[in-house]
Amino acid sequence: MNCKNAIIVSIFLLVLVSCQKTDRFGMKSAPKIEVKIKRFDKSIISIDTANIDSELRKLYKTYPGFMSDYINEVMDENPSDTTAVKKLLLDYLSDTAFVGVNKKVLEVFADVSSIEKDISGAFSGLNYLFPDIKLPEIFFFVSGFNRSVLKNDNFIAIGSDLFLGSDYSKYAEISYQYLTVNMCRQAVPVDIVSALIYTSFPNKSNEERLLDLMIYKGKLLFLLSVLLPDTEPQNIMGYTKAKMDWAEKFEKEIWSSMIENKHLFSTDTQLINKYINDAPFTAPVSQESPGRLATWIGWRIVESYMNTNKSTRLQELMKENDCQKILENSGYKP
């Protein structure tokens, strides 16, 4: 076989593997759902303050449901008190601290078509696999650094001013550095789809062990990775590339440590929190480690379980609450 033919065969095999991976759960058959983000953030930023009364009426008319929730949850004001709402909006829009922030919002999110594409794909897959899940409308809003996600049964809304880039200078004043990793544009589809699946699939395990929580979160991450197939694993996990590399390099040692220290079946809430919660590192493992390592190991176990049990459908995985069974049948050996 000459070099040219070898290259063609290699490309064909890569495409074939990619298609098989994408279509394992029948995703190609999913009817397409088109998601359009409602840019409430732009509507707020572009208010003509000289005509605030008419602008306010327009907002209530254009966003009848969301406007009330925004005022109540983000502005912490009574939606029916239009005088107070008007004053709050005028103060916010004239605040020099947020004029630059709002300008940055318009720059970073000038074009949201790639975000809409990712969410559309995820919602199409989710609706195909789990048709009983109600798909929400998607909004962007500006929060004055007050709220990153707003959600109810009808919508999921993202505070776009809190996704301007992990290196955005203002974030150093309001957040810990390890949390700014996810304050970026590429985290938006992940956070939106996560918000939906976390509420759609509550933890129904009767156990309170570390194992059960890490497998539960691992199932959600696995589902998230299927719904967002073009998203890098570190972005699904909310890690930097360096942190993901560290976790992969020391996966065997992490698992061995959990087993040897008998942490896997612990019900100690403080210990579990150290393994699961956001933190600069996972304290029981290493100060060099990323946080939430038990969640990542849970994802790895679920991946192994699904790779070992090829006939298992996603619907069956999400219904399986016996975490001990998933572990024992995963063949997980880092």
pLDDT in tens, 16-29: 334 444 578 887 78
- The phi and psi torsions of 24 (rounded to 5 degrees) equal -55, -40
Position 29 scores a pLDDT of 80
Position 27 scores a pLDDT of 79
List, for residues 274-331, the tens digit of each pLDDT value.
Answer: 999 999 999 999 999 999 999 999 999 999 999 999 999 999 999 999 999 999 999 9
Nearest CA to 226 among 102, 108, 288, 318?
Answer: 318
Position 229 scores a pLDDT of 94
Q: Cα(89)–Cα(142) distance, rounded to whole angstroms?
A: 11
Structural domain includes residue 14: no
Query: Does residue 226 sit in the same domain as residue 150?
Result: no
230 pLDDT exceeds 90? yes
261 pLDDT exceeds 90? yes
Position 3 scores a pLDDT of 45
Domain count, the chain: 2
Query: Does residue 314 sit in the same domain as residue 215?
Result: yes
Q: Identify the domain boundary among 173, 199, 225.
A: 199
Q: Identify the domain boundary among 148, 165, 199.
A: 199
Position 89 scores a pLDDT of 94
Strand extents, DSSP E, the chain: 38-39, 137-141, 149-151, 155-159
The DSSP bridge partners found for residue 139 are 38, 157
Structural domain includes residue 311: yes
- The domain in which residue 215 lies consists of 201-328
Structure tokens given for 174: 């309001």
Q: Cα(5)–Cα(178) distance, rounded to whole angstroms?
A: 48
Element of type H or E holding 85? helix 82-94
C-beta of residue 314 within 8 angstroms of C-beta of residue 223: yes
Alpha carbon separation from 187 to 43, 228, 312 (Å, rounded): 23, 12, 29
Position 23 scores a pLDDT of 72
Structure tokens given for 32: 């397409």
Q: Identify the domain boundary among 148, 169, 199.
A: 199
Query: Does residue 177 sit in the same domain as residue 65?
Result: yes
Q: What is the percent of the chain where pLDDT is above 70?
A: 93
Confidence of residue 61 (pLDDT cuts 50, 70, 90): very high
Nearest CA to 235 among 227, 226, 244?
Answer: 244
Position 16 scores a pLDDT of 38
β-strand 155-159 against 137-141: which pairing, if any?
parallel
Q: Cα(325)–Cα(328) distance, rounded to whole angstroms?
A: 5
Confidence of residue 15 (pLDDT cuts 50, 70, 90): very low
Query: Does residue 209 sit in the same domain as residue 194?
Result: no
Q: Cα(295)–Cα(215) distance, rounded to whole angstroms?
A: 7
DSSP 109: T
**Which pTM does this prediction carry?**
0.90
Query: Does residue 194 sit in the same domain as residue 231?
Result: no
Q: Cα(220)–Cα(201) distance, rounded to whole angstroms?
A: 8
Query: Does residue 213 sit in the same domain as residue 186?
Result: no
pLDDT, mean over the chain: 92
Q: Cα(17)–Cα(199) distance, rounded to whole angstroms?
A: 32
Position 199 scores a pLDDT of 95
The DSSP bridge partners found for residue 158 are 140, 149
Position 14 scores a pLDDT of 41
Structure tokens given for 100: 């630059």
